[in-house]
Each structure stands twice: as C-alpha cells, then as structure tokens.
Amino acid sequence: MSTSEAVVALERVAVTFGERPVLREVSFRLEAEQFCALIGTNGSGKTTLLRAILGFIRVQSGRIDRAGGAIGYVPQKIILDPGLPLRARDVVALGLDGARFGTRLPSKERAARVQAMLRAVGAENFAEQRVGALSGGQQQRVLLAHALVRRPKLLLLDEPLANLDVGSTAEIVALLRRLSHEFGAAVLLSAHDMNPLLPAVDRVVYLANGCAVSGKADAVVRTEVLSRLYGYHVDVLRVHGRVVVVAAEARDESRTALERDPVHTIPVP
Amino acid sequence: MGEMSAVGLMGGFWSNQPVRVALAVGGCAALVCAVVGLSTVMRRQAFAGHALSDVSGAGGSAAYLLSINPLFGFLGIAAAAAGLMEWAQVREARERDLLTGVVLGAGLGLAALLLYLDMTVRSVSGAAITVLFGSMFTIPTSIVPVALAVAVAALGASALIFRPLLVTTLSVDLARAQGVSVRTTGLIQALALALAVSLSAMTVGAILSTALLIGPAAAALQVARRPASALALAVLIGLAATWGGVALAYQSYYWTPGHGWPVSFFIVMLIICAYLAASAVASRRAGAPAAVPLSGCQDH
C-alpha cells in the first residue's frame, strides 16, 4: 500500500446512544505509517469512535472504509488478574493465533516471531513473568506486542497512557513512534492529556461536541479552530512549553465536557 | 451409608467391581472438572459453576422419577441452565450474578419438588442423599461408557476453544478485535461446563460437585505460571483426590465395621488439603501470609 492510500477513512460518521448523539459528522482519514493522536476530554466520544472503527458498534449514518489486513487493538482499562497463569510471552503468542480454534504444535518460526516482538517492545527482560504481576508500563508494552505481532496495518490504542508515570509515558510514546515506521502501521491513539504526544504525532484528530477537526497539530490546536469546534470561545495558551486550552466563558453547562472540565492542556506541537 | 457395607463384603480393592466403576467414573469426572474448572476459575465464573452443579440436582432427581440413566438427567438440566445463562449474554458481573442466582433458586426449587416426588410417588429410598451428596460405590456399570463419552466430548470441546478462551479471559474486546468468535466460544464453554458438572454431580453429588470443579483448578492456579502447567497440576490434584477418596472410603469400612464413610467426604477433604498446600507454597514464594478462601469463589 502506498502512503497516499487511506488505511482507514471516516466520512460523516454519526453514532447515537438512545436519544443522545455521541458523534456527529466525524470525518478524517489515516494513511500508512501515520501516527495520529485522537484528542478529547473525558466523555467526548474517543472510545466510541475507536469501537465504531473496529465494528463493535453500528454507525447511524456515514461510512467507515478500512483497508484489508489485521487491526491491532489495545483497549482501555484492561485489568490483568495477577493470578492468571499467563506469562508475558504467552500473551504475545496469543496475539498471533489466539483466535484459532483447536490446539497447535510448537513451532520454531512462531517462537522466533514472538521473541522478535518482545525484543521490539523492550519486554525481553520480563517475558517469563506472569503478565498480571507486571507494572502498568510493562503491561502496556506486552499488550502492544500482542497487538503488533500479526503486523497489523492499523493500530488502535484507547488511552494507553492513562495511569502511567511520566517516564513510562515518554518511553511508550517513543516506542509507538518507532514501531509505526518499522511496521508500516497507521496508529490512532486516544488520550485526554496530550502533553507527551504532540511532539511525536504526525496528525491530530480533535473531538468535541461530537464533531472532529483533523490535521497537523499546529493547524488544529489553535484558538480560532477549537473555538469553532466547541461552539464558543476558547483560548489556546502556551505556558512553559505546554499548551493550555481554556474556556473563556462557560455558556451552557449541559453542552460539552469542556465546560465541566474547563482547563484542558495540550503540549506545543 | 449403605453402599459401604456392600463394598466391605466384596473383598479386595482392585478386584471389587463397584470400586472399579467408581475409579473409572470418578477419574473421568476429575479429569474433565480439572480442565473445565481451570477456565471457569480464570474467567471468574466459579459462582456460575456452583449454581450449575446445584441446578443439575433437579435433573438427577427427575432421572430417578423417570427411571432413566441419572447421568442423562444431570446433563440435561445442566446443559439447559448453562445454555440459558450464556444465551442471556450478560457481561456485567452484578447482572450475571443476579441471573445465576435466579437460575440457581429455580433449579433448587425444582429439585426439592422432584426429590419429594421420588420419595412419595416412586418410593425411591436414598435418592436425596445420592443426588445431593453422591454415592460412588452404587454407580451402575452401565454408566461407564456414557461417562467416557461425556468426558471425551467435554475434553474435545475444551481443546477446541483453548486459545480463543484464553484471549477472551484477557479481555472480551481484545478477543473481538482479534477476530475471536466470542459468542461461539462462550456457548462451547457453557456446554463443556454442563458436561463437567453432570459428571461431577454423578460422582460426588450435586451439592459437593463444586469442590471437584473449582478446588483443583484454584489450587493449581496458585502455583502454576503457565496454562499447560496449571492444567497438568489441576488434573493431578483432581485425580489424586478422587482416587484417593475412593481408596480411603474403601478402607474406612475397616475403621468402623459395618459401615464406611462417604467417598464425597474424603474427596472434598483431600481437595481442601491440596488447596491449603498450594496456598502455603504460593505464600512462601511471595513471602506473604497464606490465602484462606478459594480465590475463584471470592471473585464471582
């Protein structure tokens, strides 16, 4: 696939839960090797958007076109039971053929692929440990390896940086940046705190009010663009190397998540 | 129990026909329960397993009333209840527990009625004890081939879904994204659970069958680091407890002449001993106090 072909393209996608519209006319496209951040406050519809791309939920209108090939996915808030008798290595191996029925015979080629993937994400040192006993950052690496081991064309990550310390967050972002190029995969990563992400991403999809704007970070994270998206004036301020998005005046308390959580920080692109 | 006086009069352990039948059917039950119990505990479905065991008692009671093979009775009701619970597709833990509780209550109510009818209409003596607590030395020889067939079916089903079930255990969404047929996997797992529970109920009774289903798996999961080693250890514990229980019950006839002790009691006690030993090993590894309750039952 050339870099100009879309790995996933959304056109005027709308999703409604009961009477409540969650996404309205969301459109963007993602190409191979692009590293894209999906930004929005809590409740802005990031997870819904990812689940719609995965086909877990039906869209009311619009269309989602996906190129063929596997999709890698790291869901939000997986709680891995420390009692599970699964080593990190086993979890990565399940990413290869876990969907297949029946048992399998041991294979050197399979073991080599798993080992290479563990090495790629820097998980060799804890490959033999129970996955539930690993730290949050280590678990993210293992889940990332699980998602990447089939060499997907599209990698979707739902809040993978939540609950990670600053050091682990920076490591995971750098790792994702490198792997998206190594594996030729398009990456769409959702986050509500974009500080560690914007310096690394190629594009940004910013969600608010059920709508999205997408483009390069410095073109999206601007006062006039975000004010138009939110439907009222917001200021994009740059403070000590960080971008702070501030709602100048909350007009309608029931309208947006930003109004409930008026200060939203985004790093300088 | 009356069964032990009969056994006591029959001479040597290995040449004793009821003992051989008990070893064969009990072995099938232990093997299947260890395998299916492992996925049941890992998926935190211990309460569902317990409920199915109890509910299957209604089937056993109906079998006595209708004079059919009791294994078919246990299996029929367990499969129906498992299918119902899986069909409802409840994912939320609280709602799943509520549904399981409702099915459990309905099944026990039905079992009470059928056991009453067993005693009053059919005048079947000892049906309640046999259905609820098992009577391994009175299992008819004709059940052995049926038990073997049930065991093969359950093990085949478990082998079929081994990998998809592990991914589903990690996360249902992860499994769906990877292309796992979560619905089909769940239905096959429910069938395997019904088969395991029916064999277990036939062996140690509907009430105590949870111990055989959950205990060996819970013990193995405390010390094993890999699925294969957990499986092997659970099978080892299950078989040792079941066959050891049969041997101890046989010997108990000589401890208290005229009557022996129930096999189910020894099996359950041996499983508890294995669980405590595994807890001790696990806590020694971790350098922490031993866990007392069964982890699978904690997290239903």
Q: Strand A211-215 vs strand A234-239: parallel, antiparallel, or unpaired?
A: unpaired
Q: Given CB atoms, is A83 within the 8 Å cutoff of chain B?
A: yes
Cβ–Cβ gap B164/A100 under 8 Å: yes
Cβ–Cβ gap A94/B167 under 8 Å: yes
Using an 8 Å CB-CB cutoff, list chain A residues near B227. 85-86, 90
With CA atoms as reference, the chain B residue closest to A154 would be: B177
pLDDT in tens, A144-183: 999 999 989 999 999 988 877 788 788 888 888 888 888 8
Q: Given CB atoms, is B161 within the 8 Å cutoff of chain A?
A: yes
Within 213-242 of B, beta carbons closer than 8 Å to A belong to 220-222, 224-227, 229-230
Q: Which residues, at least 6 apart from B98, have a Cβ–Cβ distance to it below 8 Å?
A: none
With CA atoms as reference, the chain A residue closest to B173 would be: A75
Q: How far B220 CA sits from the closest chain A CA (Å)? A: 9
**Closest to B16 measured CA to CA, from B246, B255, B258:** B246
Cβ–Cβ gap B295/A83 under 8 Å: yes
Using an 8 Å CB-CB cutoff, list chain A residues near B159. 102-103
Cβ–Cβ gap B227/A104 under 8 Å: no
Q: Given CB atoms, is B102 within the 8 Å cutoff of chain A?
A: no
Q: If DSSP codes are grouped into helix, strand and coil, which group holds residue A72?
A: strand
Q: What pLDDT, on the 0 to 100 scale, is given for residue A259? A: 43
pLDDT in tens, A213-241: 888 888 888 888 888 888 788 888 888 87
The better pLDDT of the pair A156, A41 is held by A156
Q: Where are the beta strands (DSSP E) in B5-139?
A: none
Q: Which residues, at least 6 apart from B15, have a Cβ–Cβ distance to it below 8 Å?
A: none
Average pLDDT, chain A: 84
Cβ–Cβ gap A94/B166 under 8 Å: yes
Q: What pLDDT, on the 0 to 100 scale, is given for residue B134? A: 83
CB B271 within 8 A of CB B216: yes
Q: Which secondary structure element, helix H or strand E, spans residue A30, and what is its range?
A: strand A20-31
Which tokens sit at B270?
């041996």
Q: Which secondary structure element, helix H or strand E, spans residue B174, and what is its range?
A: helix B172-178
Using an 8 Å CB-CB cutoff, list chain A residues near B177. 54, 71-73, 75, 156
C-alpha A236/C-alpha A217 separation (Å) is 12
Of A78, A85, A143, the CB nearest to B221: A85
Q: Strand order in A186-191's β-sheet?
A: A71-74, A154-158, A186-191, A35-39, A203-208, A211-215
Q: What pLDDT, on the 0 to 100 scale, is given for residue A4? A: 61
Q: What pLDDT, on the 0 to 100 scale, is given for residue B296? A: 42
C-alpha B199/C-alpha B33 separation (Å) is 8
The size of the A-B interface in CB pairs under 8 A is: 87
Of A56, A74, A85, the CB nearest to B227: A85
Q: How far A260 CA sits from the closest chain B CA (Å)? A: 28
Return per-residue pLDDT of chain B as tens, 300 residues: 445 444 544 458 888 889 999 999 999 999 999 999 999 999 888 888 889 888 998 998 898 888 888 889 999 999 999 888 887 766 666 777 888 888 889 888 998 898 888 888 876 667 788 888 888 888 889 999 999 999 999 999 999 999 999 999 999 999 999 999 998 999 999 999 999 999 999 888 888 889 999 999 999 999 998 899 999 999 999 999 999 999 999 988 888 877 888 999 999 999 999 999 999 999 888 775 444 444 444 433
Using an 8 Å CB-CB cutoff, list chain B residues near A54. 176-177
Domain regions of chain B by residue span: 2-298
DSSP state of A221: S
Cβ–Cβ gap B173/A56 under 8 Å: yes
Q: What pLDDT, on the 0 to 100 scale, is given for residue B288? A: 56
CA dist A3 → A29, A67, A185, B142, B271 (Å): 12, 12, 10, 68, 60
Cβ–Cβ gap A90/B227 under 8 Å: yes
CA dist A82 → A202, A219, A264 (Å): 36, 44, 34
pTM: 0.82
Q: Strand A20-31 vs strand A6-17: parallel, antiparallel, or unpaired?
A: antiparallel
CATH 1.10.3470.10 describes domain B2-298: yes
Q: What pLDDT, on the 0 to 100 scale, is given for residue A265? A: 45
Rg over CA atoms, chain B = 19
Q: Given CB atoms, is A95 within the 8 Å cutoff of chain B?
A: yes
Of A87, A91, A101, the CB nearest to B160: A101
With CA atoms as reference, the chain A residue closest to B157 would be: A102
Q: What pLDDT, on the 0 to 100 scale, is given for residue B11? A: 56
DSSP state of A131: G
φ, ψ (nearest 5 deg) of residue B150: -65, -40
**Closest to B189 measured CA to CA, from B150, B149, B162:** B162
Cβ–Cβ gap A86/B178 under 8 Å: no
CB A208 within 8 A of CB A232: no
What mean pLDDT comes out for the span A55-76?
A: 90
Using an 8 Å CB-CB cutoff, list chain B residues near A84. 42, 169-170
CB B211 within 8 A of CB A73: no
| Core vs surface per residue B89-108: b (16+ CB within 10 A) or e | eeeeeeebeebbeebbeebb
What mean pLDDT comes out for the span A250-269?
A: 46
Rg over CA atoms, chain A = 19
Indicate the residue type of B208: L
Using an 8 Å CB-CB cutoff, list chain B residues near A132. none
C-alpha B236/C-alpha B277 separation (Å) is 14
C-alpha B146/C-alpha A48 separation (Å) is 49
With CA atoms as reference, the chain A residue closest to B231 would be: A85
Q: How far A144 CA sits from the closest chain B CA (Å)? A: 11
Cβ–Cβ gap B166/A104 under 8 Å: no
Within 171-200 of B, beta carbons closer than 8 Å to A belong to 171, 173-181
CB atoms within 10 A of CB A146: 30
Q: Which residues, at least 6 apart from B34, have a Cβ–Cβ distance to it below 8 Å?
A: B216, B217, B220, B231, B234, B235, B237, B238, B239
What mean pLDDT comes out for the span A7-19?
A: 91
Using an 8 Å CB-CB cutoff, list chain A residues near B160. 101-102
What's CA A133's distance to the chain center, in Å? Answer: 24
Cβ–Cβ gap A73/B162 under 8 Å: no
**pLDDT bracket for residue A94 (50, 70, 90):** very high
Indicate the residue type of B223: V
